Structure 1
Amino acid sequence: MFNLIRNEWMKIFKRVGTYVMLGLLVAIIGITGATSKYLDSQTKVSDEWKKEVQTQIAADKESLKENMPGYIKEETKKSIAINEYRLENDLEPYQKANVWSYVQDNAYLVMFVGLFTIIVSAGIVASEFTWGTIKLLLIRPISRSKILISKYITVLLYGLSQLVVLFVVSFLLGLILFGGIGESAHLAYVDGAVVEQNMVWYLIKTYLLKTIDVAMMATMAFMISAVFRSSSLAIGISVFLLFMGSNLTTLIAMKFDWAKFSLFANTDLTQYTGFQQPVVKGMTMGFSITMILVYFVIFQVLAFVFFTKRDVAS
């Protein structure tokens, strides 16, 4: 199995596109760094920040009286609770950027990691059929299941490596641009209460939980690739759902609670750590993990059934 995985890994890094995607990720991190540095230089800390926070709290409380979707209402309650906590504990909201705040901001770049992982995942099976190399694989004394498993593990390792690059490069660039680690506390809104979390542990946890999101999108692209033998179809569908899936789910959740059964309502487990609020009120991490496992099993069964049973000569 190890040799199969190593072989697939070497195939990935023999492609120019792999280095292009790596270069794009580093370039995007650099652009966000330059932007953050510029915005930080323009930020002026107001001596009247308490009055500004009080005004924001009053405005948020007033908006709660209006008829608004549950998701937006929860976000508003979160804003009120955190601002009240800041006033009670004299925690100024507008502070100069530091390496940890920059790494936190770059957590949103996981979307690009997902995009690049989808591209690799969509082509790792379909390209074998496109180039006709699948027959060379199958004549070897190795089961189709092992071949597919090795390809899937390689995809996961690639996605994980991209996340590591994102975290490490963001940290190093943040250290260069903003100098020093600064304060390492993060205010999170969990179960209706504001809690202070160690920033370093919070960021590690956030990036690790976001690997679930990347893994599930890659798994879906992998399944489509194995079922339809088309990398373009797998990339097209998966990229569309990557960018639109969560947005469409959020819109549906404003009207219907059954939106919680959507894959895209559950893959981002950071919604239970204070990073953001659950799409549907009442959702729990246990529920989301269960839904993720259900979708994972469905995707894998489809991929393995079609790959192992289909005649490659057709």
Structure 2
Amino acid sequence: MSKFIGLVRNEHMKTFRRLSTWILLGILLGMFILIAGITKYYAEDGGNWRQSSEQQVAELQKQAEQTEDPVYAASLQEDMAVLQYQLDNDIAPIQTDSVLGFMLDALLNCGPFLIMFIAIIAGGMVSNEFSTGTIKLLLTKTPSRFSVLTSKYVSMLFTTFLFTVAFLLFSFIVGVIFFGFDGLTASRVVLDNGEIVKESGLGALSRDIGYGFIQVAFYGTIAFALSTLFRNSALAIGFSIFIALFFPTISYLIARYDWSKYILFNNLDLSAYTPGNTPIVDGMTLGFSVVVMLVYFIIITAITWLSFIKRDVTA
């Protein structure tokens, strides 16, 4: 076990010795500062939230009476129901220019960049060893190919965890600097299946971060598999980024077909099962998506480990 821990530590040191890793973290921090600055500059003074919500209800009511589109009218009624519930129960909405509102928006808007960053790191973990020729030396010192690949994968998961923590800390620190601590304990109110649901904003953020970690880790697993199958690091990283950026969009475009619920990328975003959201394909459940992910995980990891163990990696 101590030898395996040593391998994981060695792989982790390799990752954080690379300048590219710190550049990615710097880009992440820079994005948060830029978004916070823009939000701070353009955000309107919320003033009296009750007065603002009452005005919104009146405007939505007027639009609902004027529209002839029943679907749009129903959507307006749902928005009015949420606003009215907040007014009746004296629940201030989460403001965009608050630390909690900023963190929730950052998770929604910058989450895809976190996926791409992990894809870049994971996509080069094994293929870089082939490109530099260090794979021969590594396997000479460590006779078990299984332990070599497993240590790299565990290091990738740990790196994903650290990047997720950094994402959370950066957004919190930047949010506090720009917006202060006000609104940190605000509640979120949404309409879920026709019923009003009130939940803690921090609780919702914690849950969404957890779901986000699972999604990012799975994309990292895909990138890690490509890094193992392709000896060319540029090809492995490039294809990993392509999958992270475009495959979710492709899956969304075919979501109108019932069979698309068995496609992996339509099951990775578990936030679709949180209050106020709906799954991309009708009939999907959280349990169903977890099972689909597990099946794909077993297939992907089996192919990855078998190919690494069986192929002539020293050639």
Counterpart of 1:252 in structure 2: which amino acid?
A: I
Further displaced range: 132-141 or 226-235: 226-235
Report what 2:294 is aligned to.
293
- What letter corresponds to residue 49 of structure 1 in structure 2? Q
CA distance in 1, matches of 2:59, 2:45: 18
C-alpha distance in 2, partners of 1:84/1:294? Answer: 40
Within 5 Å, which residues of 2 pair with 1:1-314?
A: 1-41=4-44, 46=52, 48-55=55-62, 62-64=69-71, 80-90=77-87, 95=95, 97-108=97-108, 109-182=110-183, 183-254=185-256, 256-274=257-275, 276-314=277-315
Root-mean-square deviation over aligned CA pairs = 2.4
Percent identity between the two aligned chains: 33
- The more displaced of 83-92 and 2-11 is 83-92
Distance 1:197 1:11, change over 3 A: same
Residues 94, 101 of structure 2: 8 Å contact kept: no
Check whether the contact 1:81–1:193 (CA below 8 A) recurs between aligned residues: no
- Relative to structure 1, is the Cα distance of residues 242 and 193 closer, same or farther in structure 2, using a 3 angstrom cutoff? farther
2: distance between equivalents of 1:154 and 1:77?
49
| TM-score of the two chains, using structure 1 as the length reference | 0.88
For residue 227 of structure 1, report the CA deviation from its aligned partner. 1.3
* SS at structure 1 position matched to 2:141: coil
Deviation at 1:291?
0.7
Match of 1:85, as an amino acid? Answer: V
Give 1:64 deviation, angstroms. Answer: 1.6
Give the aligned residue type for 1:181.
D
Greater CA drift, 268-277 or 287-296: 268-277
Secondary structure of 1:235 counterpart: helix
Shift of the alpha carbon at 1:85? 2.6
Question: Can you list the C-alpha shifts for 1:57-77, whole angstroms capped at 9, x where unaligned?
Answer: 557882528xxxxxxxxxx96
How far, CA to CA, are the matches of 2:67 and 2:283 in structure 1?
22
- In the TM superposition, what whole-angstrom CA distance separates every residue of 1:202-229 from its partner, at most 9, and x where no partner exists? 1011011111110111111111111122
Residue matched to 1:68: none
Q: CA deviation at 1:95?
A: 4.3
Kindly tell me: are residues 39 and 102 of structure 1, through their superposed partners in 2, closer, same or farther at Cα, counting changes over 3 Å? same
Relative to structure 1, the CA distance from residue 82 to residue 286 in structure 2 (aligned partners, 3 Å threshold; closer, same or farther) is farther
- Report deviation, 1:81: 2.7
Partner AA of 1:103 in structure 2: M
CA contact (8 A) 1:266 1:288 kept: yes
Structure 1 pair 275–210 and aligned structure 2 pair: CA distance change class (3 A): farther
Shift in Å, 1:193: 2.7
- Alignment partner, residue 69 of structure 1: none
Give the superposition deviation at 1:188: 3.3
Deviating more after overlay: 37-46 vs 274-283: 37-46
The number of residue pairs the alignment matches comes to 303
SS at match of 1:197: strand
Contact 2:192 2:276 in 1 (8 A): no
Instruction: Quote the Cα distance in structure 1 between the aligned partners of 2:221 and 2:178.
Output: 36
| Superposed displacement of residue 93, structure 1 | 5.8
Q: 1:85 to 1:57 in 2, by over 3 A?
A: farther
Shift of 1:96: 5.7
Separation (CA, whole Å) in 2 of partners of 1:40 and 1:84:
25
One-letter amino acid of the counterpart of residue 20, structure 1: I
**Structure 1 portions without partners, runs of 5+:** 66-75
1:128 shift after superposition = 0.6
Q: Structure 1's 48 and 11: CA in aligned 2 closer, same or farther, altered over 3 A? A: same
Taking structure 1 as reference, are residues 126 and 253 closer, same or farther at Cα in structure 2, changes over 3 Å only? same
- How far apart in 2 are the matches of 1:28 and 1:107? 12
Tell me, in whole angstroms, the C-alpha distance in 2 between the residues paired with 1:235 and 1:174: 32
Find the aligned partners of 1:13 and 1:172 in 2 and give their Cα distance: 22
TM-score, with normalisation over the residues of structure 2?
0.88
